[in-house]
């Protein structure tokens, strides 16, 4: 009886590891293949017999994408747009998330639902009027304009996520500070913000990744080298210059590198924040 129970558990464990290994392979296999491709000579990529392990390794593809296209410029633009988006969201969204988390006031529920419903608006429905409006005020093809456009879908997300982190910061310390004569502002800045620091970082990283990756708004709202971000640039390079696979793979690897690094650093807190909202409902 006990023997068969143990055997069943061992079989269960083996099955679990098998499932996990298979799914992990499905998830990162494509990325590994892209990485291997980025290290191959073009002749070894288009060869008749598939090379699973590259016989010779080269970094030419990385040199090519970095020097022979406007790639550094694209990356710089993406960095600026991402930075501006995060700045706007943190500056305005932190205050809103704090208000939603700590105060009861008229219209709170409706306002919070409103912040949720805007996520249902189709991107295309926003892109067209944003394009028309921004063209009339000269914000098309501007990095600031693109960051403003990103705010339209990332600010509500940021507020919701951060509110969850504020909710889980204990109120007792705040009350104690208030009794000691601190103002609401003082308690917020000196007590609550430090307590929710990890959450603030995780929420910021989440919207930073989203802004870094964004493609559709950028395709519509940027027309020239001055503000074009890397996803649009890479996509246009594929279309216009028939970019060789190796160079494209190198570009892909370079552009997801920051995402992977940031994700690795804050993934635990970020996962916590992403799931909190859905579970409570």
Tokens of 240: 């216009």
Taking the least distance from each CB to other proteins, the nearer of 25 and 176 is 25
Minimum CB–partner distance for residue 99 and other proteins (Å): 4
CB of 171 to other proteins, least distance (A): 15
For other proteins, which residue of 55, 122, 179, 261 counts as binding (CB under 8 A)?
Answer: 122
Assess 45 for contact with other proteins (CB under 8 A): yes
Interface residues for other proteins in 233-252 (CB under 8 A)?
Answer: 234-235, 238, 245, 248-249, 252
Does 31 help bind other proteins (rule: CB under 8 A)?
yes
- For other proteins, which residue of 7, 17, 176, 241 counts as binding (CB under 8 A)? 17
**Nearer residue to other proteins within complex by CB, 182 or 198:** 182
Two tokens at 188? 């917020």
Q: SS3 for 221-274, per residue? A: HCCCCCCCCHHHHHHHHHHHHCCCHHHHHHHHHHHHHHHHHHHHHHHHHHHHHH
- Taking the complex as a whole, the smallest distance from the CB of residue 172 to other proteins amounts, in Å, to 19
Window 190 to 229, contacts with other proteins (CB under 8 A)? 209, 212-213, 215-216, 219-220
Q: Is 16 a residue that touches other proteins (CB under 8 A)?
A: yes
Nearest 10 degrees: Cα torsion 10, 14, 20, 22: -170
**Which string of DSSP letters, residue by residue, matches 155-201?**
HHHHHHHHHHHHHTS-SHHHHHHHHTT--HHHHIIIIIHHHTHHHHH
Cα gap 1→70, rounded to integer Å: 69
Q: Which of residues 80-119 bind other proteins (CB under 8 A)?
A: 88, 91-93, 95-96, 98-99, 102-103, 105, 109, 111-113, 115-116, 118-119
Binds other proteins by CB under 8 A, chosen from 129, 137, 138, 180: 129
Q: Which residues of 35-53 are buried (b: 16+ CB within 10 A; e: fewer)?
A: ebbbbbbbebbeeeeeeee
Shortest gap between Cβ of 70 and other proteins (angstroms)? 16
Question: Which tokens hold the place of 145?
Answer: 């304009």
Number of residues that bind other proteins (CB under 8 A): 98
For residue 252, the minimal CB distance to other proteins (Å) is 4
Query: CB of 59: closest distance to other proteins in angstroms?
Result: 19
Alpha-carbon gap, residue 78 to 84, rounded angstroms? 10
Compute the distance between CA of residue 227 and CA of residue 240 in angstroms, rounded to an integer.
19
The residue behind tokens 């998330």 is 97
């Amino acid at each position: 009886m006990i023997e068969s129970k143990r055997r069943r558990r061992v079989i269960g464990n083996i099955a679990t590891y098998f499932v996990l290994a298979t799914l992990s392979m499905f998830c990162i296999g494509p990325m590994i293949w892209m990485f291997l491709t980025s290290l191959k000579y073009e002749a070894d990529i288009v060869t008749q017999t598939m090379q699973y392990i590259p016989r010779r390794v080269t970094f030419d593809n990385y040199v090519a994408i970095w020097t022979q296209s406007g790639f550094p410029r694209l990356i710089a633009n993406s960095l600026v747009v991402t930075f501006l988006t995060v700045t706007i969201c943190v500056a305005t969204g932190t205050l809103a998330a704090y208000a939603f988390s700590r105060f009861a006031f008229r219209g709170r529920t409706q306002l919070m639902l409103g912040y949720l419903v805007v996520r249902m608006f189709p991107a295309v429905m926003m892109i067209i009027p944003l394009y028309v409006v921004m063209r009339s005020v000269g914000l098309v093809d501007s990095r600031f304009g693109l960051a403003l456009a990103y705010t339209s879908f990332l600010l509500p997300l940021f507020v919701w996520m951060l509110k969850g982190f504020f909710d889980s910061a204990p109120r007792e310390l705040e009350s104690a500070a208030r009794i000691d004569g601190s103002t609401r502002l003082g308690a917020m800045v000196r007590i609550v913000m430090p307590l929710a620091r990890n959450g603030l970082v995780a929420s910021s990283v989440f919207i930073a990744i989203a802004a870094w990756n964004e493609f559709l708004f950028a395709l519509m709202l940027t027309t020239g080298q001055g503000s074009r971000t890397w996803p649009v640039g890479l996509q246009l390079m594929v279309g216009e210059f028939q970019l060789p696979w190796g160079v494209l793979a190198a570009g892909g690897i370079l552009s997801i590198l920051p995402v992977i690094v940031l994700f690795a650093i804050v993934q635990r807190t970020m996962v916590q924040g992403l799931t909190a909202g859905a579970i409570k409902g």
